[in-house]
Structure formats: C-alpha cells, structure tokens
Amino acid sequence: MTHSQVSGFVLAGGKSTRMGQDKAALTLNGQTLLEHALAALRQVCRDVAILGRYERYGAFAPAYEDIYPGCGPLGGIHSALSHAQTRYSLIIAVDTPFLMPEFLSYLADRAAASDAVVITPEIDEYTQPLCTVYSLDFLPIAERAIQNGNYKIVPLFPRNQTLVIKQAELRKFAFGAEMFENLNTPDDLERARRRFSRVDT
C-alpha cells in the first residue's frame, strides 16, 4: 500500500569522490543503484522524486536541484521539503540498496501516526539522517542552518519532536542493521554484489 501523506525522495546528488564515479549509475543485480532506490520508494510512496541534477536524472523521475548548492545532504533535504506536496517526506540515499520496502513502509506508518518533526531509525547508537522521514516543520530549521553555514544534520533534530526508532524495536520486526549498509568505495560495491549473489543462489 502506498502512502498518500508521505512523499519519497532519493538523494542522488553526492560527489561520489571515494567511489570515483556517479554512484547512481552503478549496477547491482541487474539494476542501477538509482533504480533500486526508486523501486523501493515506489512501493511505499505515491509521489517519488530524485534530489539531484535535472539533466542527469530527470528522465527517471521528477528531479530537484539544491536551492542552496554546496551544502551537502542538508541541501538536498531542504530542496525536498521545499518541493514536497505532502506533510511528510521520506528521504533515502541512493547508495543504500539493501533498504527493504517493508521497513520503509513501517517508517512511513510511524510518521503518519505521529506529530513528530523527524522520524528516524537508530542503528548502533547512530541515527540515520539519510533514511529518515522529515515533516514540513523541518524546512525552516534547515533553511536557518544553511544560512548560518551549519550543514550537520543530526544536531538539528529538535530534541522533543524527534521520534527515534531504536534498534531493539527494529529487531522485533526482523529489520537488521545490515540493511543500512551504504556503498562508498569500489570494495563496498564488490561486497554488495557478492551479497546479492548469495541471496539469489
């Protein structure tokens, strides 16, 4: 079931310096990482878009560039919330191909049932800002931080309005930490390809 209250965004506009090439175009199990991310979100969100350069990604889905370029992932989050047509936006990174649609749906469910500004999972005591649901109330927070040159995301989460989904809760639904593995280097990509091949055999 898709969520009408939650828009989905793939953050694809990173520099990919450690990978040496655009991560979105890398192939894994017969699909590019961008296709993996879009497919997962489309099972959860009615409206899905890409955060990145329109000329590079516009053929795959609506694509929105940063309003404030050069601000890292926070610039993408700000752009998503500036273009969102729904109260909540589920934002995932393009380099996390193991995210399960069932988990993303669970995250969207928790958001729709809450009045939190941020709904985020926590793995090994580290929150996952690039697999998080943001409400429109986070937009002025992001705007103010960018204008002040503060681009770190997690410190911006409002303390009393952030719903943190702890690892113990995720385990109850068989959502494991390995789901959040992201691919930063060619070695990471090769490990991911081996992991997919084990699943397929």
Q: Provide the mean pLDDT of the chain.
A: 89
Pick the CATH number of 6-200 from 1.10.260.40, 3.90.550.10, 1.10.10.10, 3.90.1150.10: 3.90.550.10
- Rg of the chain over CA atoms, in angstroms? 16
CA distance 82 to 139: 7
pLDDT above 70 (res 20)? no
The residue behind tokens 């928790």 is 110
Residues 6+ apart with CB under 8 A from 63: 49, 50, 51, 52, 53, 54, 56, 57
pLDDT above 60 (res 8)? yes
* 54-101 confidence digits (pLDDT tens): 999 999 999 999 999 999 999 999 999 999 999 999 999 999 988 999
**Closest C-alpha to 81, from 101, 95, 61, 67:** 67
75: tokens are: 């610039």
Q: Where are the domains of the chain?
A: 6-200
Structure confidence at residue 13 as a pLDDT band (50, 70, 90): low
**Closest C-alpha to 106, from 152, 188, 43, 158:** 43
* 118-154 confidence digits (pLDDT tens): 999 999 889 999 999 999 999 999 999 999 999 999 9
Residue 38's Cβ-count burial label (10 Å; 0-12, 13-18, 19+) is buried
The pLDDT score that the predictor gives to residue 4 is 87
Structure confidence at residue 113 as a pLDDT band (50, 70, 90): very high
